Amino acid sequence: MLLAGARLRLTLLGFVPVLLLGAGGRIAESKAPPGAQPEAHDGNRGDREKMRQQLMDQFRAMWMWKITEELKLDEKTAARVFPMLSKFDDQERELGREMGQAHQDLRHLVDTAPNDNAKLDALVGKILALRARRHTIESEKNAAMRKVLTPPQMAKLMLLMPRLHESFRQRIHDALDDARQGEGGGRAEARRRFRGPDPETP
């Protein structure tokens, strides 16, 4: 049993760098605030992006352990599940980048050319198509996972993933907000106290 557990830990550690590459697909869509100037504060933006990536790496690694623990994955199943998640996360990450850029373009167009119907309609169509693609990827991911997981495991995964995504997104935003405000965790910590413990915290 101990040997099997050690092998499973090595398997997971081998997938951590791969799965981490898919981090941030849903974060990218809300990355740029309305009215943000891309050219301003390049140094600060670079620091924030570095912090964002570090937080993503930490949280994604924790996700893998949480999924393994909640679903009670054995070595063989984990070796199939995490490469699948990595593949779909890569697609979601790229889609998130496109979605974020499309929303930024739309905000800019609404501010600068609110009566340009042709361009507005084209961007709206692009965003709707990206949203449809996101739903398609989600459906394909669920169909693939159902071929590997047992029904109880799949049910647990469907309940777990929304909580992990929300916790991940909120912690990223809290950390970046603290870094921007220079409050040393004051504002974000107050929100955390108001929210209570994260749903995946034992």
Cα–Cα nearest to 149, from 89, 87, 73: 73
Q: Are 68 and 138 in contact (CB under 8 A)?
A: no
Q: What is the pTM of this model?
A: 0.62
Q: Are 133 and 61 in contact (CB under 8 A)?
A: no
Q: Are 83 and 15 in contact (CB under 8 A)?
A: yes
Residue type, 85: L
Q: Are 112 and 176 in contact (CB under 8 A)?
A: no
CA distance 169 to 62: 14
pLDDT in tens, 96-144: 889 999 999 999 999 999 999 999 999 999 999 999 999 999 999 999 9
pLDDT in tens, 46-102: 676 677 667 767 777 788 889 999 999 999 999 999 999 889 988 988 998 899 999
Angle, CA of 155, 159 and 164, to the nearest 5°? 135
